[in-house]
């Protein structure tokens, strides 16, 4: 229960630090830039770009979090 204090800190730090985590920034930043999607064309199935693009961002979010989860999973 009580880990050796001398190596607890570096081990802990490594536990959730990963380069893959940067991928999480993509679905956070994209929906915040209205310049990308605040437009009417191109339309898709009758949806203005504003609507289908933002619904499409949901997919970007799912893909990014799934990749990060799979790549940083604790190897047993």
- Residues numbered 1 to 30 that lie near another protein (CB under 8 A) are 1, 3, 8-9, 11-16, 21, 24-28
Residues 6+ apart with CB under 8 A from 18: 68, 71, 72
Return the SS3 of 47.
strand
**Shortest distance in whole angstroms from residue 19 CB to another protein:** 13
Binding-site ranges for another protein (CB under 8 A): 1, 3, 8-9, 11-16, 21, 24-28, 31-34, 38-40, 43, 45-48, 50-51, 54-55, 57-58, 60-62, 64-66, 68-69, 73-74
């Amino acid at each position: 229960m009580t880990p050796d204090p001398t190596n607890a800190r570096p081990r802990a730090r490594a536990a959730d630090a990963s380069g893959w985590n940067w991928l999480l920034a993509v679905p956070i930043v994209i929906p915040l830039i209205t310049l990308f999607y605040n437009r009417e064309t191109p339309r898709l199935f009758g949806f203005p770009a504003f609507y289908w693009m933002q619904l499409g961002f949901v997919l970007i979010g799912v893909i990014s979090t799934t990749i990060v989860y799979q790549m940083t999973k604790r190897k047993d």
